[in-house]
Structure 1
């Protein structure tokens, strides 16, 4: 089985070419863009330029890695088993940077949704509008200084799960699967 691209690998590659924001934000932007655009219509470096101080270096190695990330992400978002997960730092990373990365992921997702000209949130279901409102609120997520670490860890895990499912639901609504034609099904006797 092929190893999936990890957060640290993506972060290193993005930093190497001048991307100064969190890799989680890039992954969120990619997920948002995949929700509203055809995969091949997404300029993978444009998502980078949004967070770079200088124009991103466009090298073949990074392009290959970003294409791999796009394919893996699209497969996960499209999977009926709901296997998608936002690309975030590992759980052994301190809580504050993980919360910051989750907030950045949500910000990126919103940026990606807005990448399609004419995207109209009012045409989405109430559930999708609520998820997007919640993601907007999550862009301001922070850990309190005197918070109980066990409670905060639990809350973080719940938020990650909400973002995981919410992003996939938004994707699925904006990319409905074709209904099977009953006449095409084979009957088993």
Structure 2
């Protein structure tokens, strides 16, 4: 049986306390922004640095030069270069919507895009992964806390590669965004994208 574990990466926030902690404004929250496709031409999502004041109290100076990728939990905001690369791939199941981020210095950054995934792909192996036995029920879904992952080949075998290059992991509380090795360079950039790509076995 084919093993996919080495082919995929979780896209995770780089460990740097200076990176912003994104918080959506109330209007953005009301639009179910993380999973609901928005009408063409509708207003951008709005985010601000909800952790800036706390960070300053700890003596942490927020970044002035922001990376290409910002994180709202496990969700991603990406700059134009990444957005254009993803649009060119014509990925199914990924909806890209304009976003504005107001940084800790009250500067507006209008060149970000939010990646929304209306559907999640539950493709982790229940036999080979290490996870909490008792799931948490949220929104009608049973979600597990997963410690170590192995991917379920029987699920991925049925999906053409171009339909599983980028997806949000289903069935888990963490709901990480997962990318295939063929497009990993888009998110790595030149190493300072603001994201860390962690292979499935290394999680």
TM-score by length of 1: 0.28
TM-score by length of 2: 0.26
Q: Which has the higher strand share?
A: 2
